[in-house]
Amino acid sequence: MAVILVTGSSTGIGYAAAETLGRNGHTVYASMRNPQRSPALQQLADKENLPITVITMDVTDEQSVNNAIGLILSKEPQIDVLVNNAGIASWGAVEELPLDLYRADMETNYFGAIRCIQKVLPAMRRRNAGCIINVTSIAGRIYSNFQSTYCSSKAALEAFSESLAQEVVPFGIRIALVEPEVIETPIFSKSNEVPAGTSYPNQRRLFAFFAAALEYHNPPSLVGEVINNIVNGNSQSFRNPAGPMAAGLLGWRASLPDEEWIASNAVDEETWIAGMAQMGLDVRKHMMPDRPMRF
């Protein structure tokens, strides 16, 4: 069994990953910024005697990362697996988004992962073993309008991971990506609200798409199982789509010429709604003009 550090474990995918890995017998250190505000995971572990320990770690703070990893290594001989899951998301038109939101998404989703990786790599390299799993998104390969902050951060992590994988493979270290589709997690409710006076009314389509996709209620446990399969060696793939539609959506986008993908965002509303219906998404009911553009 492995000693595993999971970041961003207070809710959603991180919580599900920690729970799934713990139920499969791994020793899990589930990190989050404010454990006192999110006691549910530790309460579950205590109640069911799962090998999960909740610890404090903010991936945007180097000293916090150092302290957390030092705490783990004071109790364990090594960290076998790092699961970089901590993530945030912002929405909006490039023209209207403050740069601070771009910095925030990159600081957590990209630099946060690198910060953790740099702390665990030396020991993994010295013992010629280890696994690093970076949770990205299908948005790291399907770039959507009004998601420029999130898509950019996830695409950056995808590119970084592929470069890293080539660097560390001679040392027996495995890098794997997990690419979830739309998963029902609190990341949506935590995002920013688009200003009512936006000059880009097509943003309503993005919110309608996600609202319709969330009606499928894809649970975070789907992603937790994919992560567990990687840890247990049941998947040897570098890229691992997660969710029933993830692989299909990635394949569909890859089959489209870039120019066609870009031009598709200029179609009229009825054409767009019909296209979404072909994908099994009922977006029309979410397109009311008085609906706030937030989740």
Q: Point out the residues that are catalytic.
A: 150
Alpha carbon distance 193, 190 (integer Å) = 9
For 177, the token pair is 């990506």
Residue 192, φ and ψ in degrees, nearest 5: -75, 160
State which amino acid sits at residue 125.
R
Alpha carbon distance 230, 209 (integer Å) = 30
State which amino acid sits at residue 82.
L
CA dist 203 → 123, 196, 208, 217, 273 (Å): 46, 11, 9, 22, 14
Going 95 to 97 to 99 to 101, the CA torsion angle's sign is negative
State which amino acid sits at residue 36.
Q
Look at residues 229, 257, 233, 231 and name the one whose alpha carbon lies nearest to residue 241. 229
Alpha carbon distance 176, 230 (integer Å) = 8
Segment (H or E) for 105? helix 99-106
